[in-house]
Amino acid sequence: MRALKALRVERSERRNRQGKAKFNLEQADRSGKLVVEVSDVCQSFKGAPVIKDFSVRMQRVTVLA
């Protein structure tokens, strides 16, 4: 029972943890193909890097069926 309570406290602390995120969103016309573009994103978990210097550019595609 103590272990379960400790896990609940640990999970509660994780949910309340705040980090830093910077977003720059701009208004765009819907006619563009660019959906999202991110550069040099890093993320770590318990001090271990999970994602390092990740960059992606996603574009809208037209599907013909």
**Sign, CA torsion 53/17/15/36:** negative
Per-residue pLDDT of 16-60, as tens digits, reads 656 676 777 777 666 667 788 889 888 888 888 898 898 988 888
Report whether 43 contacts 51 (CB < 8 A): yes
User: 52 in a domain, yes or no?
Assistant: yes
Q: Is residue 39 a part of any domain in this protein?
A: yes
Domain interval for residue 65:
28-65
Q: Looking at residue 61, what is its pLDDT?
A: 77
Q: Greater confidence, 54 or 14? A: 54
Could you tell me if residue 49 is inside a domain? yes
Give the pLDDT confidence score for residue 38 in this predicted structure: 87
Would you put residue 53 in left (φ > 0), alpha (ψ -120 to 50) or beta?
left
Helix (H, G, I), strand (E, B) or coil at 1: coil
- Domain-embedded: residue 16: no
In a domain, 20, yes or no: no
14 within 8 A of 8, measured Cβ to Cβ: no
**Residue 60 resides in a domain:** yes
Question: Could you tell me the pTM of the whole model?
Answer: 0.40
Q: Provide the number of structural domains found in the chain.
A: 1
How far is it, in rounded angstroms, from Cα 43 to Cα 50? 6
Domain membership flag for residue 51? yes
In a domain, 5, yes or no: no
pLDDT of residue 16: 60
Q: What is the pLDDT of residue 34?
A: 74
